[in-house]
Amino acid sequence: MNPATHFLASWTLANAADLTFRDRALITLCGVVPDVDGLGIIVELATAGSTAPLNWYSRYHHVLCHNIGFGLLLALVILIFSVRRWTALLLAMSAFHFHLFCDLIGSRGPDGYQWPIPYLWPFSRQWQLAWQGQWAFNAWPNIVFTFVLLLVVLYLAWKRGRSPLEMISKKADAALTVKLKAKCGP
């Protein structure tokens, strides 16, 4: 699924408990950051026509950061930096695994490649998780899911006075919630 959907889903999960901004940000990060292993696409595209192409996207996307080893690293970050450690850890690991689950069910490439997830990496290459029924990256269930998440996010913004915009700009976040309360009532 695309990073925006992962972002909305993770932020929503981060609101399942009464946490500080820092904990919500850390949990949201855990649900989004696995996709940094897709940044190799820049190098892959830049070197595509050269004599020594670097296929970093094809080789490392869904490998480097979509596995239990990376999950443990994130768990460590949460334990060190979060305020409500165990609640944050539970929600962060849920966000991380929900990311993997969403990729597993809805991230088939346009060429039909399933981008299997080597869940036990780097400890073992035994499990290459893929699901036969996986739908395409841009298929309608992903669009519907993103739309539903947007509705949930708007509801939370109205009810609790905060939205995922808090990760980008506190001012924009406050402006949105004020607008929602003016439109939909206090």
Minimal distance in Å, beta carbon 38 to Zn ion? Answer: 7
Residue 95, phi-psi category: left (phi > 0), alpha (psi -120 to 50), beta (remainder): alpha
Minimal distance in Å, beta carbon 33 to Zn ion? Answer: 10
Binding mask 75-94 for Zn ion (x = CB under 5 A): --------------------
Per CB under 5 A, the list member of 103, 104, 118, 173 interacting with Zn ion is 103
Nearest residue (CB) to Zn ion, 103 versus 173: 103
Give the SS3 label for residue 157: helix
Residue 166, phi-psi category: left (phi > 0), alpha (psi -120 to 50), beta (remainder): alpha
Nearest residue (CB) to Zn ion, 7 versus 158: 7
Minimal distance in Å, beta carbon 44 to Zn ion? Answer: 17
Nearest residue (CB) to Zn ion, 9 versus 19: 9
Nearest residue (CB) to Zn ion, 24 versus 99: 99
The rounded distance, in Å, linking the Cα atoms of 144 and 139 is: 9
- Give the count of residues interacting with Zn ion (CB under 5 A): 3
The rounded distance, in Å, linking the Cα atoms of 140 and 148 is: 12
Nearest-CB residue to Zn ion?
103
Which residue stretch of 71-79, 95-103, 108-116, 123-131 sits at the interface with Zn ion (rule: CB under 5 A)? 95-103
Do 1 and 106 touch, CB atoms closer than 8 A?
yes
DSSP state at residue 135: P
Query: Cβ neighbours of residue 7 under 8 Å, at least 6 residues apart?
Result: 28, 31, 32, 164
Binding mask 5-44 for Zn ion (x = CB under 5 A): -----------------------------xx---------
DSSP state at residue 53: -
Under the rule (CB under 5 A), what is the footprint of Zn ion?
A: 34-35, 103
